[in-house]
Amino acid sequence: MALDTRSRKKVCNLCVDNVEEIDFADVGRMRRYLTDRGKILPRRITGTCSTHQRRLAHRIKTARQAGLIPYVIVN
């Protein structure tokens, strides 16, 4: 009896929520795509599509410049 070791393909949460524009002031949504150190998580971990990943990275960088998200979180 062989087990199926293939995992399901991750689905982009932004496509499911039908998000067209990502607001840089929506810090709660962006925190889900950051590590505890403040780094942007890659697509292979979050499951976002390439279009949304590029837009998300740009909006996170904009939020950092606006002072809403810190560049580095030091423990």
CB atoms within 10 A of CB 15: 13
Which domain range does residue 27 map to? 13-66
Q: How many structural domains comprise the chain?
A: 1
CATH number at residue 25: 4.10.640.10
Which token pair is 67? 């002072």
Please report whether residue 3 resides in a domain: no
Please report whether residue 57 resides in a domain: yes
Please report whether residue 49 resides in a domain: yes
Residues whose CB falls within 8 Å of the CB of residue 17, separated by 6 or more in sequence, listed in order: none
Please report whether residue 20 resides in a domain: yes
Q: What is the pTM of this model?
A: 0.83
Give pLDDT tens digits for 14-51.
999 998 899 999 999 999 999 999 999 999 999 999 99
Residues whose CB falls within 8 Å of the CB of residue 63, separated by 6 or more in sequence, listed in order: 24, 25, 27, 30, 69
pLDDT at 63 over 70: yes
Q: How far apart are the first and last CA of the chain?
A: 47
Please report whether residue 29 resides in a domain: yes
Nearest CA-CA partner of 60 in 21, 22, 8, 19: 22
